[in-house]
Amino acid sequence: MNILLISLLGCLVVALPSASVQKVKWCVKTQKELDKCKHLASKSADLECVLQPSIIDCIKSIAKGDADAVTADGKHVYSGELKPYELRPIIAEKSKTEPCYAVAVVKRDTQFTIKDLKGKTSCHSCYQRPGGWDLPIGRLVSDRIIDWDVSDDMPLERAVSQFFLRSCIPGISKAVYPNLCSACQGDSVGCWILPCQVALQCMKKGVGDVAFICQGGIPGE
């Protein structure tokens, strides 16, 4: 079984090699990472560097057994857990900053649960940030509440836009995903310019059914 070693803020993804493999094959995505890996490999005969164009390609390589480890951002943690890769998280790296605890905020008289979010209006603190996007959307995908697979041709953002009735996600492109901006107030020029703190305002104005925010030490959320 492949094994995924992760951190939520700065991730280390590892599939432990079998007993027959002598070297740890480290997957890198850039020339800078490759240079660093080669430097480390020059100090250890147990390390081999594998260059791939993206983190998803590295995850695919790990799943196929062509690589054993990769350094990744938190937003790709859930991708590695999904089919067809099914890597398993076992260790989290401790961050020097305070952790972000993703929180879903709803109105006091709300009767629905996380499993009932399809067709609701969502407010997010920020696109591609832990509290507003990575952790809550990753959780919804991991629990198969949002039906999306990393191997699909459909972008995750498109699947999210089809799941929620409408959303306000500061930082996302209105031109590409208009439905993910349609719940933003005063959004005449695109929600990519909106501050990341609009999620609770969206809820207070009665626009959203749920707000995804970060309770912790992540600046801007």
pLDDT digits over 86-115, tens only?
Answer: 776 555 555 555 566 788 999 888 889 999
The answer as to whether 3 is a domain residue is no
Residue 91 sits at φ, ψ, to 5 deg, of -140, 140
pTM over 0.85: no
Q: Which of residues 97 and 67 earns the better pLDDT score? A: 67
CB 159 within 8 A of CB 128: no
The answer as to whether 51 is a domain residue is yes
Identify the DSSP state of 61: H
* Helix, coil or strand: residue 213: strand
54 and 161 housed in the same domain: no
User: CA 21 to CA 68: how far, in whole Å?
Assistant: 10
The parent domain of residue 193 ranges over 100-216
- Amino acid identity at 133: W
pLDDT at 82: 65
Could you tell me the CA-to-CA distances from 22 to 10, 17, 19 in Å, in that order?
27, 8, 8
Q: Which of residues 191 and 175 earns the better pLDDT score? A: 175
Rg over CA atoms, the chain: 19
pLDDT at 10: 39
pLDDT at 93: 59
Give me the mean pLDDT over the 42-61 stretch: 88
Residue 204 sits at φ, ψ, to 5 deg, of -65, -30
Task: Please provide the average confidence, as pLDDT, over all residues in the chain.
Answer: 78
Give the model's confidence band at 38: pLDDT under 50 very low, under 70 low, under 90 confident, else very high: very high
Give me the mean pLDDT over the 121-141 stretch: 88
Q: How many domains does the chain have?
A: 2
- Could you read off the pLDDT of 178-200 as tens digits, one per residue? 899 899 876 554 576 677 778 88
The answer as to whether 15 is a domain residue is yes
The answer as to whether 123 is a domain residue is yes
The answer as to whether 221 is a domain residue is no
Q: How many CB atoms lie within 10 A of CB 103?
A: 16
User: CA 167 to CA 173: how far, in whole Å?
Assistant: 12
The answer as to whether 205 is a domain residue is yes
110 and 154 housed in the same domain: yes
Q: Which of 88-97, 114-123, 132-141 has the highest mean pLDDT?
A: 114-123
Q: How many CB atoms lie within 10 A of CB 181?
A: 24
User: CA 172 to CA 175: how far, in whole Å?
Assistant: 9
User: CA 153 to CA 167: how far, in whole Å?
Assistant: 22
The answer as to whether 186 is a domain residue is yes
Percentage with pLDDT > 70 across the chain: 71
Q: Which of residues 214 and 158 earns the better pLDDT score? A: 158
Buried (b) or exposed (e) across 123-142, using 16+ Cβ within 10 A?
A: bbbbbebbbbbbbbbbbbbe
73 and 122 housed in the same domain: no
CB 8 within 8 A of CB 91: no
37: CATH: 3.40.190.10
pLDDT at 141: 86
